[in-house]
Amino acid sequence: MLKAWIKYITALAYLPFCGKGRRVVLCYHSLKSDFTAGFRKQMEYIVCHCQVVKPSEILTVESDGRTIVAVTFDDAYVSFYENAVSVLTELNMPAGVFVPTGFIGRQCNWQMPEGHPDKNEKVIDRQQILGLEKHGIEVFSHTVSHPNLTKLSDEELKRELIDSRIELEDVLGHPVDIISYPHGIYDRRVIDFAAAGGYRLGFTIEPRWVNDLENKLTLGRLVVSPKESLSIFKLKAAGAYAAENVLRNLKRRIR
């Protein structure tokens, strides 16, 4: 609780320095039915106060002066499909979902902490994936088996990156060139293999704004939850929680 308050106060202090026209990508995971109302309020807020864009266009869309925001979901859980898609469709909002293809239509069984609320989630099936684009939701890769990519051999890493892209392209009938790294973990080798594997953009969960001066395969995202208060969400949507990354960099320099 204390750590959360420190992050909140730091974000409040950082907000005046955020400036205009910044580009922010938000990252959700599951969306249980109990929190659909909170998610709706969050989406209604950014529709009214931000320039909401497709994740694939986060670097290229021209700013209208407001904060540019893209909404993404990792893991492609059924709870996302059942509870988020209808809200996004009703508000005419674009979004993106990252699919771990080895679990399509099955319960996820990758490593999670004991008692994790998403432990019993199921990943959407091929038919549900195919229907997402009709609702303005882009479909991207989240590897095959949701591993820590930095722990894999070169051959395993290549399969995780390429096989997931190929399977999604088979379902969708068009190229897939965007990925998010499971657990947000990556290193130089992962980036190099992603580039060689045909990916144009890669997303982490490092709390940073997005800009076209950085490596396009290590773009930051701010992790959000439908359970969060609207005051916290507003700061995240404004990019103020990127203060956490600024402080990390300062600590590294001091050391």
What's the pLDDT tens digit per position in 164-205? Answer: 999 999 999 999 999 999 999 999 999 999 999 999 999 999
Q: With bands split at pLDDT 50, 70 and 90, how would you rate the model's confidence at 75?
A: very high
Average pLDDT over residues 4-33: 91
Mean pLDDT, residues 133-138: 96
**% the chain with pLDDT above 90:** 84
Question: Do the bridges between strand 68-74 and strand 23-28 make them parallel or antiparallel, or are there none, so unpaired?
Answer: parallel
CATH T-level assignment (fold) for domain 22-254? TIM Barrel (3.20.20)
| 101 vs 211, more confident | 101
- Among 99, 82, 95, 90, which residue's Cα sits nearest to residue 36? 82
pLDDT at 250 over 60: no
Supply the pLDDT for residue 78.
98
For residue 192, the model assigns a pLDDT of 98
Nearest to 108 by CA among 150, 132, 135, 144: 144
Half-sphere exposure of 132 (CA within 13 A, CB side): 30
**Spatial distance between the Cα atoms of 11 and 69, rounded to a whole number of angstroms:** 17
